Amino acid sequence: MKFIVSSSGLLKQLQSIGGVLGASSPLPILDNFLFEVKDSVLTLSASDLETTLTTQIEVEAKESCKVAIPARLLLDTLKKLPEQPITFSADVKKQSIEISSDYGKYKLAGFDGDEFPKFPVIEKGNTIEIPSPVLSEAINKTIFATGNDDLRPVMSGVFCYLGKDYLTFVATDAHRLVRYRRSDVKSKKDSTMILPKKPLSLIKNALPSDNVKVTIHFNETNAIFSFDNFRLICRLIEGKYPNYEAVIPVDNPNKMTIDRISFLNSIHRVSIFSSKSSHQVRFKIAGSEIHIMAEDPDLNNEAAERLACEYSGDDIEIAFNARFVIDMLSNLEEETINLEMSLPNRAGLITPVDENTKGRDILMLVMPVMIS
């Protein structure tokens, strides 16, 4: 096998799929990139068995071939090369790779490409197209709220409902919940899946800045995300997702509207003085003011601030984990948010105030903590 390719072009494509490589691979072959040349197109693949990424780049080649090349060694070499055409020569029988550049030659041991795991094929299933900005926002708004409990694997991923009327992404770790819904993106038929966190992060990082259509083809066990020359195949999380709608309180008579940045900065400052074990901050809301307080009795530290707000409802004092509220407020862009509550022991709902965004609905739920 022999082909010529741009060094920077190859590096860019390898870096786009290299994120799937783990520190410790279940199989030695997975420490390699799979190179497949056919019809002057080089297909590059990387996998950790659960998730597989592939991308393509045009090359100068006269023959077809398949070989696996050590990923870290190749990446480190390409990072040190300036932009130039480089030539790959592979002796398939000896599994030897030679790279020629303007500076010299580099030899490394390759592996039989046929040893690389076969990619899942989805013959039947559902297909939906989602604009890349919508998919990117759906991932960004939910992935931070996923759980890490090995005993409840379904909560370590993002639940997706693809319906005839709307699309919904949901994530929860039992202490907080985020629901992202779009009524301007619809599926031909209702279906659901639970996507793992790692492939979602890889997709988010690979999505282009311009608006492209992302095609998602999936069945009960796997999903394929495709756009441009990039493709991601991942195994879905099996199991039944909790009935998240049941935990969202419907009747919330106490409603506060406040500037998001001022609220966020105040919680940041006050939470520095909170207990390092509970990270508790207390909100005392009455009239047109909110008092934000925290204390650490063990170290005799305490802090309090007050902000102006719009509030309707009964006076209330409620406490939350500061880290959860900070995460939620940080993942919104709107200038103003609503905080809706009913009782000190019931969940609070955070929603953005943005009348210009039609077809989008974001709801963030955070469970209170016992006031200490």
* 167 has a pLDDT exceeding 70: yes
Amino acid at 101: S
Beta strands in 83-206 (DSSP E): 85-91, 96-100, 105-109, 111-112, 126-131, 157-162, 167-172, 176-182, 191-196
CA-based end-to-end distance of the chain: 70
Question: What whole-number distance in Å separates Cα of residue 245 and Cα of residue 249?
Answer: 9
Mean pLDDT score, 208-213:
91
How far does CA 368 lie from the centroid of its chain?
26
On average, the pLDDT of the chain sits at 94
The pLDDT tens digits of the residues spanning 105-162 come to: 999 999 999 999 999 888 888 999 999 999 999 999 999 999 998 889 999 999 999 9
The pLDDT tens digits of the residues spanning 279-326 come to: 999 999 999 999 999 999 989 999 999 999 999 999 999 999 999 999
Q: Which of the two residues, 372 and 225, has the higher pLDDT score?
A: 225
* Percent residues over pLDDT 90 in the chain: 87
Quick one: pLDDT at residue 356? 65
* Structure token pair of residue 55: 């991308």
Quick one: pLDDT at residue 125? 87
Q: Which domains does the chain have, with CATH numbers?
A: 2-115 (3.10.150.10), 126-245 (3.10.150.10), 248-366 (3.10.150.10)
Quick one: pLDDT at residue 54? 97
Of 364, 363, 313, 308, the residue nearest 341 (C-alpha):
313
Assess contact for 332 and 260: CB atoms under 8 A: yes
The pLDDT tens digits of the residues spanning 329-365 come to: 999 999 999 999 999 999 999 999 976 677 899 999 9
The pLDDT tens digits of the residues spanning 270-285 come to: 999 999 999 999 999 9
Phi-psi region of 129 (alpha: psi -120 to 50; beta: other; left: phi over 0): beta
Quick one: pLDDT at residue 355? 61
Assess contact for 341 and 356: CB atoms under 8 A: no
Mean pLDDT score, 193-199:
96
Cβ atoms < 10 Å from Cβ of 354: 15
Mean pLDDT score, 204-223:
93
Quick one: pLDDT at residue 286? 96
Mean pLDDT score, 156-175:
96
